[in-house]
Amino acid sequence: MNVDILGVKFDNVTLPQAVSRALALIEKRGGHYAVTANAEILLNTEYNAHARLALTSADLTLADGISIVRAAKRLGHPLKERVAGIDFAQSLMQACTGKRFFLLGAKDGVAEAAGERLAEKYGIVISGTQHGYYTDENAVLEKIRESEADVLFVCLGSPRQEIFMLDNRDKVGGCFMAGLGGCLDVWSGRMKRAPKIFIALKLEWLYRLIRQPSRLGRVVKLRHFTPAIKRQRRAEKH
Ligand code: UDP
């Protein structure tokens, strides 16, 4: 079952259910992909058809942001829970001991540093890494195919990562992909995830804003989200 929010169909799953869906997609080896979407991505893709298609073509659409969970409730179709991209990825790695992961994105050196930590913590194999500021996409795709990865974490920021997954699903050698934003920065130790109290109070976004004031413009744009949800609610009533 899924829940439609501004035209994007979110899978109504718990974290463990999301992981089992992903495990099944890994086995299929069809270049399937997961998006971890929040209000910002929904708003940004309203006027970007390519990014919108990348979002709506995903095989698994997870509610990464708390505002998505709140909107679902307001629309009368509550989601079971928030499935943050980073929690999803970590639980997936836990269930994938011995599998091959390729880490794509972030600044030079970050994916390698993250890979060392993740391999040790989860017993996964890091089959390759690549920073996210490359110019030759074909060379990157070749590297991914040669690595024979089972899973590719695409951490290029939105909507670039979603577009990368849509456009290249036939070119990655069949691995399962997940778009995960700034996760590599956290796993490498360069960026801290919000303390548990912020997460429990549903204020992870505020912690990220305090740590990175340059995100202010992104947060301000979110004022358009609630009116958009109200419009959807009115439209659904008629
Ligand atoms: N990034 C990248 N290539 C680019 C632009 C961004 O690899 O061309 C990386 C950036 O270094 C960061 C991640 O993408 O590691 C985006 O992080 P952000 O915090 O914006 O994502 P969020 O978690 O908010 O979706």
The yes-or-no verdict on residue 227 having pLDDT over 90 is yes
Q: What is the pTM of this model?
A: 0.95
**Ligand 1: which of 134, 135, 156 to mutate, most ligand atoms within 8 Å of CB?**
156
Q: What is the mean pLDDT of the segment spanning 92-110?
A: 98
CA 177-180-184 angle, to 5 degrees, is: 110
Altogether, the residues listed in the chain come to a count of 238
Pocket around ligand 1: residues whose beta carbon is below 6 Å from it?
Answer: 105-107, 132-133, 155-158, 160, 181-182, 184-185
> What is the chain's mean pLDDT, rounded?
96
Residues 6+ apart with CB under 8 A from 74: 229, 233
CB 178 within 8 A of CB 85: yes
139-193 pLDDT, tens digit each: 999 999 999 999 999 999 999 999 999 999 999 999 999 999 999 999 999 998 8
Cα-to-centroid distance, 77 and ligand 1 (Å): 31
Cα-to-centroid distance, 156 and ligand 1 (Å): 5
Q: What is the mean pLDDT of the segment spanning 114-124?
A: 98
User: Which pLDDT does position 1 carry in this prediction?
Assistant: 83
